[in-house]
Amino acid sequence: MSTKLAPISYASSIVGFTSFAFTFFTFVRVFWETILTLWSAPKQMMGYLDNLRIELHNERAYFKSALRRTRSRSRSVKRYHEDIGPLKILNGTVRRIHREFIRLEKPFLNISPSRAEKDLEHDSEEIVDTDYAPMTLARRWKWMRTKSHIIAIADSVNRIQTQRIACDTTNLLMKLHTMDKSIQDFEDRLWDIEEHIMGERLDDGRIYVKRRVDRSPNRSPR
């Protein structure tokens, strides 16, 4: 019996085997990744959630103080009028994202439902010590499905940070410009005052001090 295969059949079995190997390894890889994700879920989840919670907290605090600052300044100094619109929009976005985050992290926390309701209503400011619920297998599965949402939220927070840095920079530039103008104004006035007080100005800008006529009444005229 000959074990020799016809070349075409030889080739086809190689192709068949290769594609089978690919399928098999892909399956193993996916399976392995799932196992790894399930295994590392608690640590990974805490890392993602803690990070995002802190970032959201900072952004909310930033917009809160920025809104207050801008408002009071616009009210007190008309010249500093700033458009509050973009800040308001970003503030609203942060608020929406924060709500979404609270909804997503809820299944992984050990909070009584009443506490969660209160948090949502009052938009609580302080970060309370987070008490993570024990990672059961069900929660590990849930994390696998929640993870992509959390990553999407982290992306939006990043974009908001970028935008507010751009806003800050624009405002800062405008302020510097105003400051520059007031300094020039100030210098002009100083120049005038010098002339008034001291006397004539020579061509090179220096002051020619006029001899003062002493008119003080205490001195008796000679």
Ligand X SMILES: *[C@@H]1O[C@H](CO)[C@@H](O)[C@H](O)[C@H]1NC(C)=O
Per rule CB under 6 A, is residue 187 in the interface with ligand X?
no
Of the pair 40, 158, the CB lying nearest ligand X is at 158
Give me the least distance between CB of 28 and ligand X, in Å please: 46
C-alpha span between 150 and 156 (Å, rounded) = 10
Give me the least distance between CB of 89 and ligand X, in Å please: 9
The three-class DSSP label of residue 209 is: strand
Site string for ligand X, 99-138 (x = CB under 6 A): ------------------------x---------------
Of the pair 96, 210, the CB lying nearest ligand X is at 96
The three-class DSSP label of residue 200 is: strand
What part of residues 40-99 is at the interface with ligand X (CB under 6 A)? 60, 63, 67, 88, 91-92, 94-95
User: CB nearest ligand X: which residue?
Assistant: 91
Provide the CA 28 distance to its chain's centre, in angstroms: 39
Of the pair 67, 104, the CB lying nearest ligand X is at 67
Q: Are 26 and 32 in contact (CB under 8 A)?
A: no
Of the pair 67, 154, the CB lying nearest ligand X is at 67
Give me the least distance between CB of 125 and ligand X, in Å please: 9
Residue 132 region by backbone torsions, left for phi larger than 0, else alpha for psi between -120 and 50, else beta: beta
| CA distance to 83, 157, 165, per residue, from 119 (Å) | 31, 20, 28
Angle at 124 between CA 115 and CA 126, to 5 degrees: 105
Give me the least distance between CB of 195 and ligand X, in Å please: 50
What are the residues binding ligand X (CB under 6 A)? 60, 63, 67, 88, 91-92, 94-95, 123
